Amino acid sequence: MHKGTDMKSMVKRIIMLSAVSVLVSSCATKRPFNDEDRKTFGLKNEILSKVQFYVSNDIVLYKADSEAGFAIEKGEVVVTNSNSEDQIIVKRGTPGAYVNAESSDKVAVRFEMGEGKYLYFSSKDAYKGRYHLVAAWERKRGVLNYAKEKYYVTPESNSSYLMYKLKKLNSYKRKSRVASGVKVD
């Protein structure tokens, strides 16, 4: 009797465990944000505000101001030179949020809060339709507006593009049961 009880108990466990088994495998990987994925997944502007973006490489913005002047103090001519540099670094992997779309191939993404503190990325003329950093390039440096001011961009920043995480879920369902058998009277 003891053996029969153990066998029934084991059969019940097998039935319960395999009644509905679902295998879900997921692996979120960062991949370039591109036109093909945007079309395939229907990533319209209203949906993009829910997507977490990342920057592929460091982006370095800088501006330098210098002022020279002179004044006469106590009979002496005083020459003043003033130099200042403002640098903003967006490190590789920094998370960003969608702000708006200027066109179907150009989006603005914010990496810090503040008025006008966003960068444009475009897929126009880009490798594999990736949304790369937009700047006007002159003499090996980019020029763009950031926070309503003119900033320069380092040449290395030119290779930066947007990335996002894509998670693929695969599901497998299986029902299993053990037939109890039919006895003849």
Within 51-148, strands assigned E span: 52-55, 59-73, 76-90, 95-103, 106-110, 119-122, 132-133, 136-138, 141-146
83 within 8 A of 64, measured Cβ to Cβ = yes
- pLDDT, tens digit, 9 for 90 and up, residues 30-62: 999 999 998 888 888 888 999 999 999 999 999
Asked if residue 125 belongs to a domain, the reply is yes
Asked if residue 111 belongs to a domain, the reply is yes
**Which tokens go with 28?**
């979120």
The model's pTM is: 0.69
* Burial (0-12, 13-18, 19+ Cβ within 10 Å), 135: buried
**Which tokens go with 104?**
């179907």
- pLDDT, tens digit, 9 for 90 and up, residues 98-111: 999 888 889 999 99
The parent domain of residue 90 ranges over: 32-168
Asked if residue 80 belongs to a domain, the reply is yes
Asked if residue 13 belongs to a domain, the reply is no
Asked if residue 71 belongs to a domain, the reply is yes
Asked if residue 20 belongs to a domain, the reply is no
Which one, of 54, 83, 52, lies nearest residue 67 by Cα? 83
Return the ∠ at Cα 39 (arms to 38 and 45), rounded to 5°. Answer: 55
Asked if residue 11 belongs to a domain, the reply is no
Which alpha helices (H) appear in 29-131, and where do they start and end? 35-40, 45-48
**Into how many domains does the chain fold?**
1
